[in-house]
Amino acid sequence: MNLNQLKYFVTLAETQSFTKTAEQYYISQTAVTQQIKALEQTLGCSLLDRSTRPASLTPAGSVFLLEAKAILERMNHAISRTQDASTGLVGSLHIGYTKGYERSSLSNKLKEFHNRFPNVLINCYRNTADALATGLLNREYDIIFTWDSTNLCQDTGIDCQEIEKVPLVAALYPNHPFAQRKLLQRSDLKNETIIYMSPSASGSSPGDAHLMNLYQKAGYLPNIIFRSSDTESILMMVAAEEGISILPGYCTQKLDNADNLVFIPLIGDEEAEQIVALWHKDNKNPVLQHFIRFSGYHPAPPTSTAPSE
């Protein structure tokens, strides 16, 4: 038994034609007939009922058709993985992403890449925006997905690609006076107690300064009782009715049925968070280069938008 015999048999079963099978593989009809007979001799049973016109599969042939297709599929998969390995797609990719972004579509992209290049180990790291920037500069990550709160895109040694602009939403508890609103403005939150989601651990990054500027544009400075970069802790405090928060939509889009939480979009062109992918221009990791091409990234300077808070 060989692969050609399996291919001829599968094609013959699907086309029900010795002539079409021969034409597809550029061999004679006699050669197809001989290979099918040789296959039957190896198996010790008839695969075709030749008393019908066109020839049909015997019960044994129907069973073997499924097995033959599975063998060919596994062989193609093995060939593909071997070829990927021979072209350098064996290794690892270190990806950092901002806290909360695990609820975005990033996991779908990583799944697609893994399915295409299964010999690659994708290592994922969740961190704050400033920690991600520091980690990238220190070569701890191959690529990061984050809001650029440290203006890393301005570094001449870094490439960046805008991934998406995510609307900001107010996180409230159901008993809040604004809980039934369809939309909110930042100015509506002037007298609210704010549980602040900071893009940095220090609270003094360019991203934090940008956030404070948005509040100033709305006519006030926020009454912040707690600062954190951890989405889950902030949502826990909101659910406990200790205050409200403003978060990017990717943190909340899969939490529609969250207990004691209501999410309302904010109005305004600046009420969005721009997620970018960043990586070193001189990173020679072949897996990174394949990931960039696979994702269709075309680096360009992003425009400035608001981060999470």
Q: Residues of CATH 3.40.190.10 domain(s) within the chain?
A: 91-164+275-295, 166-273
Reported as a single tens digit per residue, the pLDDT across 140-195 is: 999 999 988 888 989 999 999 999 999 999 999 999 999 999 999 999 999 999 99
CATH 1.10.10.10 segments of the chain: 3-86
**pLDDT tens-digit readout, 87-100:** 657 889 999 999 88
Residue 203's pLDDT is 66
Architecture, CATH, for domain 166-273: 3-Layer(aba) Sandwich (3.40)
Q: What is the predicted pLDDT for the residue at 300?
A: 63
| Mean of per-residue pLDDT scores for the chain | 88
Report d(CA 297, CA 291) in Å as an integer: 9
pTM above 0.75, yes or no: no
**What is the CATH number that goes with domain 91-164+275-295?**
3.40.190.10
pLDDT exceeds 70 at position 105: yes
The stretch 202-219 carries a mean pLDDT of 84
Between CA 62 and CA 49 the distance in angstroms is: 11
pLDDT the model gives residue 11: 93
Q: pLDDT by residue (tens digit) across 241-265?
A: 999 999 999 888 777 667 899 999 9
pLDDT category of residue 112 using cuts at 50, 70 and 90: very high
Pick the CATH number of 3-86 from 3.30.70.20, 1.10.3720.10, 1.10.10.10, 1.10.220.10: 1.10.10.10
Confidence (pLDDT) at 53? 85
Would you state the pLDDT for residue 35? 92
